[in-house]
A and B are shown apart, each in its own frame.
Chain A
Amino acid sequence: MSSSTAIAPISSRTDLQPSGAANGSEEQYVTFTVGSEEYGVNILAVREIRGWTPESRLPNLPDYVRGVINLRGIIIPIFDLRARFGGGLTQVTKRHVVVVMQVGERTRGILVDAISDILAIGHDAIKPPPDVDSGLIDAEYLSGLYTAENRMVTLLNVGKLFAGEHVDQDATRAALEPT
Chain B
Amino acid sequence: MDDLSRFKQTYFDESAELLAVAEAGLLRLAPGEIDMDEVNAIFRAVHSIKGGGGAFGFSDLVAFAHEFETVMDGVRNAEIPVTTELVDTLIRANDVLARLLSHAADETDVPAGTTDDTVAALRRFLDKAGEPPDEAPAAPPAPRPAAALYPDDEDDEAGIFGDALAAILAARDDQPAPAASGPGPVPEGKVRWTIVFRPKAELLLSGNEPTYMLRALRRLGEAEVVCHLDKLPSLRDLDAELLHLSWTVTLLADPQVDRARIDDVFEFVADDCDIRISAEAPPPAIIPPTIIPPAEPEPVPAANLPQPAAPAAAPVTPAATTSGAAKPGDGAKRTNGGTGGSDHAGPTTHTIRVDLDKIDRLVNMVGEMVITQAMIAEHLRDLPPGQFQELLEGLEGLAQHTRELRESVMSIRAQPVSSVFSRMPRLVRECAALTGKEVMLVTTGETTEVDKTVVENLVDPLTHMIRNSIDHGLEGPEERERIGKPRAGTVHLSAAHRSGRIVIEVTDDGRGINRAKVLSKAIEKGLVQPGASLSDEEIDNLIFLPGFSTADQVSNLSGRGVGMDVVRRNISSLGGRIGVYSTPGEGSRFVLSLPLTLAVLDGMVISVGEERFVLPLTNIVESLRPKPADLHGLVNKCDVMMARGEYVRLVHLHRLFGIPKAIDDATKGLVVLVETEDGSRLGLVVDEVLGQQQVVIKSLESNFRRLDGVAAATILGDGRVALILDVAGLREMSRHGAGNGNASGGSPPPSPSLPAPADKSDQRQRQTV
Contact = CB atoms under 8 A, between A and B. Distances in A.
Interface in A8-34: none
A74 interface: yes
A126 interface: no
B713 A68 contact: yes
A69 B368 contact: no
A106 interface: yes
A57 B659 contact: yes
A106 B741 CA distance: 28
Interface in A160-174: 165-167, 170-171, 174
B703 A107 contact: yes
B715 A57 contact: no
Given A70-B719, A74-B702, A165-B705, A60 B743 contact: yes
A58 B723 contact: yes
A1 B745 contact: no
A56 interface: yes
A60 B364 contact: no
Interface residues of B, number: 35
B705 A60 contact: no
Contact of A70 (B710, B721, B744): B721
Interface string B694-724: 0000111011110111100101000111110
Contacts of B367: 73
B658 interface: yes
Query: Number of contact residues on A: which range applies?
Result: 20 to 34
A88 interface: no
A60 B703 contact: no
Nearest to B363: A73
B113 to A, nearest CB: 45
A94 interface: no
A75 B698 contact: yes
A58 B707 contact: yes
A167 B744 contact: yes
B98 interface: no
Contacts of B719: 1, 53, 70
Contacts of B722: 56
B708 A56 contact: no
Given A1-B719, A56-B720, A56-B721, A75 B703 contact: yes
B657 interface: yes
B365 interface: yes
B721 A69 contact: yes
Most buried by B among A59, A69, A105: A59
A96 B124 CA distance: 81
B703 A76 contact: yes
B402 to A, nearest CB: 14
Contacts of B723: 56, 58-59
B702 A106 contact: yes
A74 B745 contact: no
B698 A74 contact: yes
Nearest to B364: A73
Contacts of B707: 58-61
B375 A77 contact: no
B709 A75 contact: no
A73 B656 CA distance: 28
B721 to A, nearest CB: 4
Nearest to B612: A56
Most buried by A among B364, B371, B612, B704: B704
Given A56-B723, A106-B703, 14 more contacts: A1-B719, A56-B713, A56-B720, A57-B611, A58-B723, A59-B708, A60-B657, A60-B708, A60-B742, A70-B719, A73-B368, A74-B703, A107-B703, A171-B745
Nearest 6 pairs between A and B by C-beta? A59-B657, A56-B721, A73-B368, A77-B704, A171-B744, A106-B703
